Structure 1
């Protein structure tokens, strides 16, 4: 199935190069030239020229069998993003402590428009399986980190998110905009979001906001645990302590009390 957009006559070289890079996905991390052409929607000759240039620069790598994959040069550039590697490095000691205490999955995420982007994930021993991956995206409304990030987002962002078709992941997935608005108000009141079996029926997520130097919410931390054995009320203060530690390391000025 073709994933790329059909190339228009006025499409810039930059846009076409991005189409080449977008052809690579978690499901298809390694592609041959013909597959890149098909998935990007570009003519084979155009794809060949762009792939050659991107490989020469280091954005793509080619193996001995003629397969292409994303190159390390892109990782070097991406590491400069302040909400990426820099945030991750600041947060990692607190995430590690939270993971050791809970022995569950620990996640750090930011909002990119109407999606959650996961910056880090640490898997606990015997922890529940999750659908997320570092660098992956997910919808805002069904996830704990997404509910936190949406709760503190501008009103227009909230309304745009709630206007989207809301996918049903499980029988407990919230899909009513009015119900989600009430949940977001509760998140702002308590400083904690709980997503109970909204993504999978065996997992519950407890999340809290991370504040930046201007005390604005820049990220969210969560613990994802087995729904049949986790106690969200016990996990909440642990997640809040980790989120506050990251916030202070980022320069936020917060009250010392944990809600």
Structure 2
């Protein structure tokens, strides 16, 4: 059986500061999580994501500034993100996007930083991990202007919206929310869209799936989301694992060449 790919978790979170990250990774491997994308959400956590990627050849980093944190960053921080990209451990720019739900920063400022980071992704031919909340129309209008693809992180809209982003070349990512009893609309989206456009994530330490909802989340819990997707689509768990993992590898560019580049950089850095 192919291993699972957690395409979006935050091992950089303070929630794990008193835990051994290697133990978290080992527990994930025991249930078959073979690849992880560890996602930053500001400059500090982006740097940490890259540092943590050095601990395992199967952990890759995403670097970016979250829409709720853009006012805390300046133009020169984009150049620092570029330096992180050059390490060879970065597989995506993220977590970036628009969040009008919390609206901690103005929509204009969020759009400005969203576009800047999209352009950065385009410069380095990297996919993006897109956080959208209550802003799907604005996000679509921006994304359709740029020849960049990626993953719609923790998708929360309807099937029509999902298909619009799929047509732009994006994959739809489901988190532990898919297992929630009150997530019928999202479960319908999972039924409606093709499996070859779906990837899975935990968003750990957040959004813990049933049966552990309400507790801290870990990459190992992605198995429950995979099982729920298999049940909704009435297919085997193995089919879900194989297809979603291959999808994730494809969109994030995780292949032998990428792993060799990263492993070589780590070896040189540690020598």
Higher gyration radius (CA) = 1
Q: TM > 0.5 between the two?
A: no
TM-score in terms of structure 2 length: 0.25
Larger % of helix: which? 2
TM-score in terms of structure 1 length: 0.26
Higher relative contact order (CA 8 A, sep 6+): 2
